[in-house]
Structure 1
Amino acid sequence: MTDEPDNLVLTILRDMRAGQQRLEAKVDELVRRVSSVETNLAQVHVDLAGQAARMDRMDGRLDRIEKRLNLVDA
């Protein structure tokens, strides 16, 4: 075997490829994390919509109670 040094261009290209692979791995992880955040945010919206619907029903019930007890101004 010869102790000939690697071609400088090939060495630089290998380093660039390794850096690119590290960046791709980080981007993939970020994509997974953003997807998780989006899923959780969608669930929060669903929960808020459920709470709003529940409060609307409670408001209707309170109105009926006030009318039945003659607590509303005519």
Structure 2
Amino acid sequence: MADVSNELIFEVLKQVQQRLDKVAPKVDELKSEMNAMRGYLISMQQDVQNVYGILGRYDGRLEHIERRLELNDSPTMSA
């Protein structure tokens, strides 16, 4: 096995440090992009929930109108 000197280890560690110095800002950039995406997805989810709420209200109003106009298909109970 070849002897590994302290200088060789030091050179390898310097190269590793240089690479990490280049990677760290990119990781920070990715973190901020992911946070932006998370915020966007949360707002989309809220929008979809709002749409479902509006559709639910319209469904209730439509059922009320159908009952008032006696347009519903369900059999009515005769008294």
Using the size of structure 1 for normalisation, the TM-score is 0.80
Q: For 2:64 and 2:16, how far apart are their aligned partners in 1? A: 72
User: Match for residue 30 of structure 1?
Assistant: 30
User: Match for residue 46 of structure 1?
Assistant: 46
Percent identity over the alignment is 28
| RMSD between superposed Cα atoms in Å | 1.5
Higher relative contact order (CA 8 A, sep 6+): 2
Using the size of structure 2 for normalisation, the TM-score is 0.75
Q: Which runs of 5+ in 2 are unaligned?
A: 1-6
Q: For 1:35 and 1:45, how far apart are their aligned partners in 2? A: 15
